Amino acid sequence: MNSEEPKATVNFIQEIINQDKKTNKHQGRVHLRFPPEPNGYLHIGHAKSICLNFGLAAQNNGLCNLRFDDTNPNKEDVEYIDSIINDVRWLGFDWGDRLFYASDYFEKMYDYAVSLIKAGKAYVCDLSPDEIRKYRGSFNETGRESPYRNRSVEENLDLFKRMRAGEFADGSRVLRAKIDMSSPNLNMRDPVLYRILKATHHRTGDKWCIYPMYDYAHPLEDYYEKITHSVCTLEFEDHRPLYNWVLNVLNLPDPPQQIEFARLNLTNTVMSKRKLRRLVEEGYVAGWDDPRMPTIAGLRRRGYTPESIRNFCDRIGVSKSNSLVDVRFLEHCIREDLNLKAPRVMGVLYPLKLVIDNYPGDMVEEMESENNPEDPTAGTRKIPFSRIIYIEREDFHEDPPKKYFRLAPGREVRLKNAYIIKCEGFVRDERTGEVKEVHCSYDPESKSGKAGAKRKVKGTLHWVSADHALKAEARLYDHLLLDQNEGAEEQEEEKDFINQLNPNSLKVLTDCLVEPSLAGAAPGSRYQFMRKGYFCVDPDSASDKLVFNRIVSLRDSWAKILKEN
């Protein structure tokens, strides 16, 4: 951590905290929480929330809990709990011994519900789900009171107890708050507090058959954990009066404050759990950790560093206006991070054979190469060089376009860390007409480091020695969606986003060649393939077959020139 770093601008939540500290609200404590429901994998949008909550806690000498909001056994699973814990930890955050579950509070919540009934603030309602909806009214039409609204406290207590005892079928009864059926805020029209769900809960098993609703459970969870600032996303804004109602009617001291911020949207991808699930279940991607997925697991496998994700989240800011962040900003963050950290290596994605005719056939030289020009402490390594090498197919052009600096008949280029070579000719495949091999001569005086090396040539190419190179597979990823925006057409049926899937989001190259120093590279290790991009060794990699994921390409000004023409 660099203390010289320009201080992140104070966001509106930090301003609220500053204000609260000034007035000694919550005795100056700052306590937040990240409360995921264990019903799916975390994605980059969650990362924003995680960084916000844990970050605010850290900045303010406060605490941040990890809490599973597991109040709906029908949708949740331990599989997700494990992955969420793993992901938050991987991002670099620590909740100490404060890992909590809403389900641990069920008994206390039940007791509070009983006191709500006793206070005449809640009642058991026998209306069907459909009837409840009809009674609720609409935007323009006030709601009607349930015929069960004025049951006696005794009857409500009895019925609620029997709900818990399992006497009634799913959906037959609910516990409702008694608030105001004519409220302009639909959330306040006697919202459901408890429903009957005869489902096995992943933590409490069959102990319960009634489960609290989010609006009732969440303020209590926050209260139990002495949360001071309960940060959530914008769609809960309308629920804040209800959040406050629960805390208020129960007369709970030092209540937490709910604060809403805008969730993250990213261009060229999808973020909703529903859509991500579709991609996985319908086989558009290989799984939740497919490197094209915006999930934490996907980004991790792709090769993103936790630092780059945290940095991204810190830099996009926090506000209440809906936003759509350009995915290129995320890509900038990983390039920036890896530029400083990733060792440089040479890897040829589309190999083209090149013979240096005047180089002795039995000679092998060890060429010295910097591991990272951005990091002098990274050291150097030796790379074998010989008469037959492979270069990138696109680095030779028999009829070079304008501004093309690379190899072409009669032209000279430098081989990185080796010699200047001159193209003397090429051989075509008789059948396909494709260039099969290129013939060159080299200038022995031009070896890197020698006096004769000072000669300037336009281009520098990466290469690998044919006899020494390792075979490798490279998986090149591109954006999942062609279209910029998932937000704009959101209303359209989901087919819409399937139509926008990028057919070229994955390209698998099985005949790549990489320098021998990569032998045994461990899964997860990251490299810059010079002039090509940043790559990460995939878990599929084996000793006899290296597999690399392209994290992100290098910025490519030649590609831009090409695009213009």
Q: Which residues are catalytic?
A: 37, 263, 273
The reply to whether 231 sits near RNA by the rule CB under 7 A is no
* Nearest by Cα to 296 from 525, 85, 474, 553: 85
Contacts of 369 (CB under 8 A, 6+ apart): 344, 346, 380, 381, 382, 383, 416, 417
By CB under 7 A, what part of segment 115-134 binds RNA?
A: 127-129, 132-133
The reply to whether 246 sits near RNA by the rule CB under 7 A is no
The reply to whether 174 sits near RNA by the rule CB under 7 A is yes
The reply to whether 237 sits near RNA by the rule CB under 7 A is yes
Quick one: which segment of 77-85, 116-124, 168-176, 516-524 binds RNA (CB under 7 A)? Answer: 168-176
The reply to whether 2 sits near RNA by the rule CB under 7 A is no
How many Å apart are CA 212 and CA 183, to the nearest integer? 22
Q: Which is nearer to RNA, 110 or 558 (CB)?
A: 558
By CB under 7 A, what part of segment 211-230 binds RNA?
A: 211, 213-215, 217-218
Backbone angles phi, psi at 28, to 5 degrees: 80, 0
- Judged by CB under 7 A, which of 249, 250, 252, 325 binds RNA? 325
By CB under 7 A, what part of segment 519-548 binds RNA?
A: 528, 530-531
**Shortest distance (Å) from residue 406 CB to RNA:** 5
How many Å apart are CA 185 and CA 139, to the nearest integer? 8
* Nearest by Cα to 554 from 316, 334, 309: 334
**Shortest distance (Å) from residue 290 CB to RNA:** 24
Q: Which is nearer to RNA, 290 or 518 (CB)?
A: 518
Q: Cα–Cα distances in Å, from 248 out to 121, 177, 227? A: 12, 13, 15
By CB under 7 A, what part of segment 75-94 binds RNA?
A: 75
Provide the mask over 398-437, with x wherever binding to RNA is found by CB under 7 A and - wherever it is not.
-----xxxx-------x-xxx-------------------
By CB under 7 A, what part of segment 250-289 binds RNA?
A: 262
CB 392 within 8 A of CB 464: no
Please work out the total of residues on this chain that contact RNA, with binding judged by CB under 7 A. 97
Contacts of 74 (CB under 8 A, 6+ apart): 197, 199
The reply to whether 182 sits near RNA by the rule CB under 7 A is no
Q: How many residues does the chain have?
A: 565
Q: Cα–Cα distances in Å, from 353 out to 152, 391, 394, 411? A: 89, 7, 12, 17
Residue 178 half-sphere exposure toward CB, CA atoms < 13 A: 20
Quick one: which segment of 67-75, 348-356, 423-431, 494-502 binds RNA (CB under 7 A)? Answer: 67-75
By CB under 7 A, what part of segment 437-466 binds RNA?
A: 447-449, 453, 456, 459-460, 462
The reply to whether 196 sits near RNA by the rule CB under 7 A is yes
Q: Cα–Cα distances in Å, from 194 out to 136, 210, 213, 217? A: 17, 6, 6, 9
Assigned token pair, 211: 């489960």
The reply to whether 37 sits near RNA by the rule CB under 7 A is yes
